[in-house]
């Protein structure tokens, strides 16, 4: 990306949000555009990061045998009435409803009903299972209280998946299969997420785990032991029989060593059992010719929420805890290095353009006119690029000053060496 072609002038960010400085930087620098409360558009860099996240999610789910589909976001109210959830979702204000002379339509906050209707036409026999399908698409929830920019909005990007099995044993296998994929997703993105025992809440069903990123800005309080990696949401303690639940479902008898920490919920997996297939009377024919309900699992990852969490965890601070910028990890950053030439030096400018072309989509070129070298260096840290390559008067021709934005480490390397690095 050439900054001169991106319509970006000198960037000034002021009075950053104390809780969410990274996303505030994105908003003030034009990388995020807010259209209304909890509604955002994405500029080039966050959009590409989001696509990287989507690609990794797709790869990991495909590798464990999940099949990608696409369900409509705009859904008829009838399928929600069929499951019995329409009244509750409308009354609590979660669901956005469109009334017209052609009936009532819903902007889906989730897709259990639509998926059961869809798969009910495909999975007629026990021979067709197990099956797990997924999609990545926009969801809508009329949140009473939006929070944290992309962390909790009214319009958001989500991966939701659904497994279909003939019995509880099969459901457990599908559940464990998706769980493995989730942990692999985190590994490939270069982030740490923790499986956290959770309460199923309004989703219903039996077993549930959240996937959390430890963070001081998290909405959730979890109990966690860093040594054993055992973690549970404090909501679980509100269950009347939580001790029996933990022992029977997870083999946990003692939680006295767990400590409270804040965390961001990135994903959630549920064992729904037959709750929705029973209520909607949709199922399969077993080997004895009898109609049986599906044993379902439900799995979600908040893609835009994950993007927000990654950004907030990339914030850089000085010795006084003042925010100085951010640096994304190399696994997720769409651009690995930002090339900053002294644009008034024709030789450095020429070398910078040659490097940019050779790096083929892995670099940002700051070729803006009438912007000082110092301002460009400061701006680089707002974009979150992991490395900065400076071609100034003090560096010999054929060399660059390379800085690791996160660590501050600087070294002079040849341009050939730079090309080999990226």
Tell me: pLDDT of 222 over 80. yes
Task: Provide the CATH topology of domain 31-312.
Answer: BirA Bifunctional Protein; domain 2 (3.30.930)
Which ranges in the chain are annotated with CATH 3.30.930.10? 31-312
Q: Which two tokens stand for residue 186?
A: 């985190």
369-390 residue pLDDT tens: 888 888 888 888 888 999 999 9
Q: For residue 408, give every residue at least 6 positions away whose Cβ sits within 8 Å of its Cβ, in sequence order, or none.
A: none
Measured CA to CA, the distance from residue 357 to residue 245 in angstroms comes to: 59
In CATH terms, the superfamily for domain 335-421 is Anticodon-binding domain (3.40.50.800)
Q: What's the per-residue H, E or C state across 276-316?
A: HHHHCCCEEECCCCCEEECEEEEEEEEHHHHHHHHHHCCEE
Q: Where do you find CATH 3.40.50.800 in the chain?
A: 335-421
pTM (2 d.p.): 0.89
Average pLDDT over residues 13-30: 91
Edge-to-edge strands, sheet with 363-365 = 363-365, 337-341, 387-391, 399-404, 410-414
Token couple for 380: 């680089």
pLDDT at position 301, please? 96
Backbone angles phi, psi at 174, to 5 degrees: -65, -40
pLDDT at 204 > cutoff 60: no
Can you give the pLDDT at residue 278?
92
């Amino acid at each position: 990306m050439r900054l001169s072609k991106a319509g970006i002038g000198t960037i000034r960010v002021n009075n950053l949000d104390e809780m969410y400085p990274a996303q505030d930087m994105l908003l003030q620098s034009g990388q995020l555009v807010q259209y209304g409360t909890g509604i955002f558009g994405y500029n080039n860099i966050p959009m590409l990061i989001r696509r990287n996240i989507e690609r990794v999610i797709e790869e990991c789910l495909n590798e464990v045998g999940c099949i990608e589909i696409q369900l409509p976001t705009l859904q008829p109210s009838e399928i929600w009435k069929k499951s019995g959830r329409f009244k509750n979702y409308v009354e609590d204000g979660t669901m956005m409803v469109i009334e017209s002379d052609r009936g009532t339509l819903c902007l889906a906050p989730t897709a259990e009903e639509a998926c059961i209707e869809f798969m009910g036409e495909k999975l007629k026999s026990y021979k067709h299972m197990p099956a797990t399908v997924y999609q990545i698409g926009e969801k809508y929830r009329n949140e009473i209280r939006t929070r944290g920019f992309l962390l909790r909005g009214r319009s958001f990007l989500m991966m939701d998946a659904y497994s279909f099995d003939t019995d509880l044993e099969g459901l457990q296998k599908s559940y464990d299969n998706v769980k493995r994929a989730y942990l692999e997703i985190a590994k490939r993105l270069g982030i740490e997420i923790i499986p956290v025992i959770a309460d199923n809440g309004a989703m219903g069903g039996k077993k549930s785990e959240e996937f959390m990123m430890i963070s001081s800005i998290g909405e959730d309080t979890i109990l966690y032991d860093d040594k054993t990696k055992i973690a549970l949401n404090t909501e679980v303690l509100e269950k009347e029989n939580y001790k029996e639940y933990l022992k029977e479902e997870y083999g946990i008898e003692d939680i006295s060593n767990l400590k409270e920490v804040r965390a961001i919920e990135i994903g959630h997996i549920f064992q729904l059992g037959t709750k929705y297939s029973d209520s909607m009377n949709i199922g399969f024919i077993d080997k004895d010719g009898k109609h049986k309900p599906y044993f379902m699992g439900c799995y979600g990852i908040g893609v835009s929420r994950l993007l927000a969490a990654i950004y907030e965890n990339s914030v850089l601070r000085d010795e006084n805890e003042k925010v100085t910028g951010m640096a994304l990890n190399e696994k997720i950053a769409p651009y690995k290095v930002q090339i900053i030439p002294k644009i008034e030096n024709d030789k450095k400018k020429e070398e910078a353009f040659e490097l940019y072309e050779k790096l083929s989509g892995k670099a940002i070129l700051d070729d803006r006119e009438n912007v000082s070298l110092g301002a460009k260096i400061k701006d680089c840290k707002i974009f979150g690029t992991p490395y900065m390559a400076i071609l100034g008067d003090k560096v010999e021709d054929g060399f660059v000053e390379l800085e690791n934005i996160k660590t501050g480490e600087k070294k002079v390397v040849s341009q050939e060496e730079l090309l080999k690095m990226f």
